[in-house]
């Protein structure tokens, strides 16, 4: 192995170590935020545009209750289901919901491949 290869391998190892440290810190902060941070308006309505039509996706707004978010999504769906020349879907998301597990699994698999 020549010196360039050795240097590349060293940099790659150090980069993986830094990525792992950052990943661990993010996980720790996420757990802390779950306990400490309370969202005043945890329900988000998102306009999911159409990738085939080129219609943009947009955040419609944030709401204190699911019922309010559902009403807004339904009203938008009734009046704006076709916008900018394409389909639109209005989805309600609970921003407090622990959705990270599926992403955690993917990241874990990625880390396994990189080691």
Q: Across all residues in the chain, what is the average pLDDT?
A: 80
- Please tell me the predicted confidence (pLDDT) of residue 70: 97
Contact partners, residue 34, CB within 8 Å, separation at least 6: 98
Specify the pLDDT at position 46. 95
> Taking a C-beta distance cutoff of 8 angstroms, is the pair 50, 88 a contact?
yes
Tokens describing residue 85: 């020349």
pLDDT for 22 equals 65
What pLDDT, on a 0 to 100 scale, did the predictor assign at position 55? 85
| Beta-bridge partners for 92 | 45
pLDDT at 37: 54
Q: Which residues in the chain show pLDDT less than 50?
A: 35-36
User: What was the pLDDT predicted at 98?
Assistant: 60
CA gap 71, 77 in Å, rounded: 10
């Amino acid at each position: 192995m020549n010196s360039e290869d050795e240097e590349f391998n060293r940099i790659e190892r150090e980069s993986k170590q830094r990525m792992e440290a950052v990943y661990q810190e993010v996980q720790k902060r996420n757990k802390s935020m779950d306990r400490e941070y309370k969202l005043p308006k945890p329900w988000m309505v998102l306009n999911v545009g159409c990738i085939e039509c080129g219609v943009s996706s947009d955040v419609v707004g944030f709401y204190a209750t699911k019922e309010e978010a559902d009403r807004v999504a339904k009203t938008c769906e009734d009046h704006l289901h076709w916008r900018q020349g394409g389909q639109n879907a209005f989805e309600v998301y609970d921003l407090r919901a622990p959705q990270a597990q599926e992403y955690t699994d993917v990241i874990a698999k990625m880390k396994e491949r990189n080691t």
